Amino acid sequence: MMKALRWLLESVSKVKILTIAEMEFRRIISSRKFKLMLAIMLLPDIIYLLSLGNINPAFGGTKVCLEEFWRQAGEFILDFWTGIPAQLLAILIASELIAGEFDEGTFKLLLTKPIRKSSIVLGKWIAFSLCMIIISLPSLLVLAIIVSIAYRGGWSALSTIASHDMLIGEVAILLGLITYGTFTMLLSSAFSKPLYAALTAFSFLTLYQLIIPNISWLENPAKYTLPYHLGLFLEECGFVLSPGGKLYKGDLWISLLSIYSLNCILLVFSIIIVCRREVK
């Protein structure tokens, strides 16, 4: 009897989380920041399309399309889709998840309903993650279509890329954007103004990515940055980022475990901060 009651309570709790996630998801996708980020993520595809010159008809096929997709997608993922331009927009969206509620005074309205503060945090994080999926998929799909047409791979090349390589690229983008977003969400839980959370997150991440790789007394200091682990993930999953061989060395599973653990720790601290905050 007690087990059945516990299962029922857990099911209700999950439904509440999904309700919060749905509300936040609708709010994010209707915002200008989401639409702006969706458009900006397509910029590398547009620039790449315009830069394509005359391609020798003999230089084509599925293999060539795969190699070109690996090269271009790897560059776009590490330099743009998880780089500073995408980071900034993801930070702006994530900064409003919690701090926006406190700033507008709507957080106390959520507490009038039978829902835990932890469910609010988790629901908003789920909504943010779903939005990042929607934002990143079109850019990879457009690149796959451009490469398949330009290098005459046709449907065979497109289906091959979409069935594996595009999904790997999608996971890499999500690992980056969700991690940056989760870090910003932690700051959003501590600040009452989204702008303060966004400025703090962007300043810290920018300085970290500029300073850490240049610390001379660290052995291979770049491996302490997220882009390095994303590059490792891409190469271990089959992407050939450089014809000269692998650029990133390390254990893939340790790398993924580190990213997963970091996100869990950031989420836990976000929940703790929100639970301890007084709602005025």
Question: What residues have CB less than 8 Å from 251, skipping those under 6 apart?
Answer: none
Q: Which tens digits make up the pLDDT trace of 119-141?
A: 888 999 999 999 999 999 999 99
User: At CA 193, angle to CA 191 and CA 199, rounded to 5?
Assistant: 85
User: Looking at 201-260, which runs of residues are DSSP E strands?
Assistant: none
Residue with the two structure tokens 């926006």: 100
Q: What is the pTM of this model?
A: 0.89
pLDDT at 217: 83
Contact 129, 178 (CB under 8 A): yes
Alpha carbon 71 to its chain's center: 20
Range with lowest mean pLDDT among 80-84, 112-116, 122-126? 112-116
Domains of the chain, residue spans:
16-47+58-276
Whether residue 7 is predicted with pLDDT greater than 70 in this model: the reply is no
Number of H helices, E strands in the chain: 13, 0
